[in-house]
Structure 1
Amino acid sequence: MGKNWIPMSHTEGEAAKQAHVALPEGTYEREMGKEGFFGPAAHLYHQNPPTGWIDWEGPLKPRAFDTAKFAAAVDCPWKAQLMMGNAHVKFRHMLMTRAMDHLVRNGDGDELLFVHDGEGALFCDFGHLTYAEGDYIMLPRGSMWRLEPKTPSKILLIEATNDSYRLPDKGIVGPHAIFDPAVLQIPKLDDAYRAQQQVKKPWRVVIKRRDQLSTVTYPYNPLDVVGWKGDLTAVKLNWRDIRPLMSHRYHLPPSAHTTFLASRFVVCTFVPRPIESDPEALKVPFFHNNDDYDEVIFYHQGSFFSRDNIHPGMISLHPCGFPHGPHPKAFATGAKGTRKETDEVAVMIDTRDALDVATAAESVEFKGYVATWNPDGFKQAAE
């Protein structure tokens, strides 16, 4: 993508020498940036928190949703609860408690699964693999697959509509940074895979294309592969194999934690890391308005050092167009420097195009979320 801005740099009034370091006393830094932290940016130093609103009217507000309130299990990924989406990405939540008796195929795009809870097995064209909490599984568009949960499994489905997932360019830190591609696991044509081929019964394949379903029935199991070769396959990555970029003297932007990307959105993973130790460095996410992307965060586990009143299984949505950042309590804790490391695990999706919130998400919405940046409003929202 070529530059489409006027290259320049200027300083006016009281400002930090470097972004996110040694802020002028009594100020709150806000980054106004373009291109998802990769483009031009201005750093503005406010006398009051940029999130200090006391009222909000209209649809462009921060929202939160609690997937822990979903209790109904489904027997097919295409019945998963649609949370939000646009023409390029769909974000679903699924609870599955029993083995699928059919196969599915996504004709609309690559599918990325994130296992929030549970364990079991996945069978697909390329073989068999086991899954457990914290696994990402990327299935190329057109793959046939099914799940056999061993325990109740809560899974996020992130579809790259009409697109493919790829790994980010890791630039000057080299290809082995963040995670070495050698940790990626692929399915195996093992005994478990061969055993399921022996089940003599008709098998259905439910194909999703343009969000419409078609069912094809075979008199045998079409997962009857005996071998394959090539550079297209399903892959698995657990968040524990991610070793995040960090700096003890500078708070890195979320883009440093990109795990997968597509043409119109990115998937980032926040994992435990030491907090910046330099006394002048900012120790919590900086206030920012990322005016080119909507931001979605799924909170997987741990205590979330930039948020209050958030628990695992919740999802926040910050549409582009207004400043957001840490909650007051988190900001105060960061200023004290008492925390030495984070223990949070979260999945973030930044989308270039505006997201539409689905009815299922609205049914589990935390309506008071917009008030949680205001100390008085927080009490009311928590009630």
Structure 2
Amino acid sequence: MRKWIQFPRQEGISSRQAHADFPEKAIYEREIGRSGFFGPATHLHHTHAPTAWSDWQGPLRPRAFDLNLLGQQGVEVECDSPWSAPVILSNAHCLYRIWHCKQAMSKLARNADGDELLFVHQGSAELFCDYGHMQINQGDYVVIPRSTMWRLEPHSPMQILMIEATNDSYQLPEKGLVGPHAIFDAGMLDTPAINEQFSAQYSEQTWQVEIKRHNQQSVVTYPFNPLDAIGWHGDLSVVRINWRDIRPLMSHRYHLPPSAHTTFVASRFVICTFVPRPIESDPGALKVPFYHNNDDYDEVLFYHEGDFFSRDNIEKGMVTFHPAGFTHGPHPKAFAAGQAHKKTFTDEVAVMLDTRDALEVSEQAGKVENSQYVNSWQVK
């Protein structure tokens, strides 16, 4: 049995409430926390921004990748198979990829390494899988259970963020005091249907299945289409939900931590979704993400659409990566705008990945890195 060393103390000049009513002499608050906002934490008050570094040497640095530039740098992003999509970040428990799918898949896909999460950044398609048929659209999350056979028939060119829970499964977060229907009701999850479109693709022609296991591919050939189910019953299935169906937790008097926006959880990481919401209106409440040391998790943000209110010069289709081990938070312009309460509403949509284990940056991602991102916190 283990127990955190906890002994709440107060030293010097500080606020009594986290993220609100800061001391007059120190407008900068920094949270040092453990276990991703769920463990013990201390809130320090500073006279200078904790991210106001003047120089940075060494590999531990905030990084930004413009995935829109991958094709221009010789990285093959358009491919028939999801297993050929370029890896951006990875560790033993997670595989983070971007896939451009422009035409109907010629083979079925099957991931024997873990559950797959698709986030549709652009485009739409018909999805056919073991459980039937469904249409997927821009902004959809699609959870595909391990070893499910599936394929896509796009209506238009697609860009899909793929996050694999390696040797693991996706589950829903425990919602605690707010109850199981908060954020989104499980009744909002859509499942495939055994409908006319599904039965129309039954075939006695040869089909192949590309199976990924240990990141190696095997191809199995059938003299018929193996997506030939006529019905099913149970509680394991592909599920879909769109970010527009998410109703974020809000507090007009307190800036909630990212964990309040958790959408899916695996054993060693979480997926959070930031969607449009009102900005805190209480005069003493912090109105931008707080400076923090999340020293047990690496943090990754994929920017889907909107105005990313805590960042500067970030466009949709970009990814930021903040490894554990240093303080990060809003850019100076965003912090100043929050102090002035210039905006009353955020219109950003972003997908966050927080991993308990360190992520490795791929060679492909390095080709589209903005090397000046580390300097973007400097006051100019």
TM-score range, shorter chain: over 0.9
2:186 aligned with 1:186? no
Match of 2:274 in 1: 270
Secondary structure class of the residue paired with 2:278: coil
Aligned residues: 374
Q: Distance in 2 between matches of 1:351 and 1:38?
A: 14
| 1:305 corresponds to which of 299, 303, 309 | 309
2:61 aligned with 1:61? yes
- The alpha-carbon deviation at position 3 of structure 1 amounts to 5.5
Matching residue's letter, 2:231: G
Match of 1:380 in 2: none
2:111 aligned with 1:106? yes
Match of 2:101 in 1: 96
Match of 1:8 in 2: 7
CA contact (8 A) 2:98 2:160 kept: yes
Matches within 5 A, 1:251-262: 251-262=255-266
Match of 1:366 in 2: 370
| 2:323 corresponds to which of 314, 319, 325 | 319
CA contact (8 A) 2:70 2:367 kept: no
- The alpha-carbon deviation at position 351 of structure 1 amounts to 0.1
Q: Deviations over 1:170-227 (max 9, x none)?
A: 11101100001111000001111111113x4210100000001000000100001111
- The alpha-carbon deviation at position 229 of structure 1 amounts to 1.1
Q: Distance in 2 between matches of 1:340 and 1:254?
A: 19
Structure 1: gaps (5+ residues): 377-383
Matching residue's letter, 2:145: P
The root-mean-square deviation of aligned C-alpha atoms, in Å, is 0.9
- The alpha-carbon deviation at position 6 of structure 1 amounts to 1.2
Matching residue's letter, 2:341: G
| 2:228 corresponds to which of 224, 231, 255 | 224
Query: TM-score, normalised to structure 1's length?
Result: 0.96
Matches within 5 A, 1:1-383: 4-27=3-26, 28-71=28-71, 72-198=77-203, 200-376=204-380
Q: Distance in 2 between matches of 1:102 and 1:257?
A: 36
Q: Distance in 1 between matches of 2:106 and 2:216?
A: 20
Q: Distance in 1 between matches of 2:69 and 2:88?
A: 13
Structure 2: gaps (5+ residues): 72-76
Q: Distance in 2 between matches of 1:214 and 1:252?
A: 45
Matching residue's letter, 2:225: N
Flag the 1:3–1:269 CA change in 2: closer, same or farther, 3 A: farther
Matching residue's letter, 2:260: A
- The alpha-carbon deviation at position 69 of structure 1 amounts to 1.3
Q: Distance in 1 between matches of 2:154 and 2:79?
A: 12
- Of 2-11 and 266-275, the range deviating more from structure 2: 2-11
CA contact (8 A) 2:52 2:379 kept: no
- The alpha-carbon deviation at position 4 of structure 1 amounts to 3.1
CA contact (8 A) 2:70 2:364 kept: no
Matching residue's letter, 1:122: L
Matching residue's letter, 1:128: H
- The alpha-carbon deviation at position 247 of structure 1 amounts to 0.3
Matching residue's letter, 1:24: P
Q: Distance in 2 between matches of 1:54 and 1:79?
A: 40
Match of 2:74 in 1: none
Secondary structure class of the residue paired with 2:59: coil
- The alpha-carbon deviation at position 253 of structure 1 amounts to 0.1
- The alpha-carbon deviation at position 64 of structure 1 amounts to 0.5
Secondary structure class of the residue paired with 1:216: strand
